[in-house]
Amino acid sequence: MTDPHQLDGVYAAAITPLTPSDKIDLDLLPALLGFLARRGCHGALLLGTTGEGPSFAPDERTALLHAALEIRHEFPDFKLLAGTGTPSLEETIANTRAAFDLGFDGVVVLPPYYFRNTTDEGLFIWFSQVIQRAVPRGSALLGYHFPSITGVPLSIELLARLKDCFPDQFAGLKDSSGSLEHAQQLGQRFGQDILTMVGNDRILSPALVAHASGCITAMANLCSPYLRRVWEAHQNGVSDAETQSKLDLGRSILDRYPPAPPVIKALISRRHNFPRWSVRPPLLDLPVEVEARVMAEMDAVFYD
């Protein structure tokens, strides 16, 4: 059996706090990460989809990554991942290099999503340049498989080729396809030889059985104790069907009110007393009446 990867576990796809003047709330970011750590997250992905990563300029992204390092004063083992992928190869390389220079534990890299008809060969060359120019040996790059958003899937053959060519740098993927069948195909092909982090809470338990390593989800901002309970049960060789069923219901609620960032920001404010952080256009803040409805639905699942 393959030894566990150092990045196994439960991760929040962290929201990005924004002040009323639409600036990143760098002062409160460490408090948000501390909240996630205390509630069972092994780490967090910053500047992913839930973190509105593509909405921020390079200097904003760098400032956020710097601010996030404060979490290690209180939680030195808390893992930090950065979303660094953009359609620009050079910008992706610069973002990735900056994250590793700061000491981040890994990066999650979207494919170049503007050109949707590219081939596996083109994607292999693109990712190879990112790895060769920006990822130190022994560091971890994860591809970001989110075809419903990017329009550019990462095929199993592409993943295998990247792992074969860069075994010390290409760690695996964040699989946000939401497909249990895909998670099982990954398990059948790779076992635990690559790190597979599912992005949908609904499939966490069966994906773990299929050799997934953990999860990186938006709902972990709110429900990480439940995700950690399911993950811990699997580590102990058992399942926690009751907790997984709550996650199934919670995820179904979240999926009815897309996109996730305004919903998560509204609910974390109402339930956990964080400021009512806004989202950056083109996203819009959640209307008050919708916010109340979602809160009531989530409370019925997790707090009754």
Q: Which residues form the catalytic set?
A: 49, 114, 144, 174
Quickly list DSSP for 18-33: B-TTS-B-TTTHHHHH
Report d(CA 240, CA 249) in Å as an integer.
15
Q: Which two tokens stand for residue 200?
A: 């949908």
Query: Cβ of 24: how many Cβ atoms within 10 Å?
Result: 20
| Centroid of chain to Cα 210 | 19
| Cα distances (Å, whole numbers) of residue 297 to 82, 266, 294 | 31, 14, 5
State how far the Cα of 234 lies from the Cα of 241, in Å rounded to an integer: 11
Residue 113 phi/psi, 5° resolution? -90, 0
Distance CA 42, CA 198 (A): 15
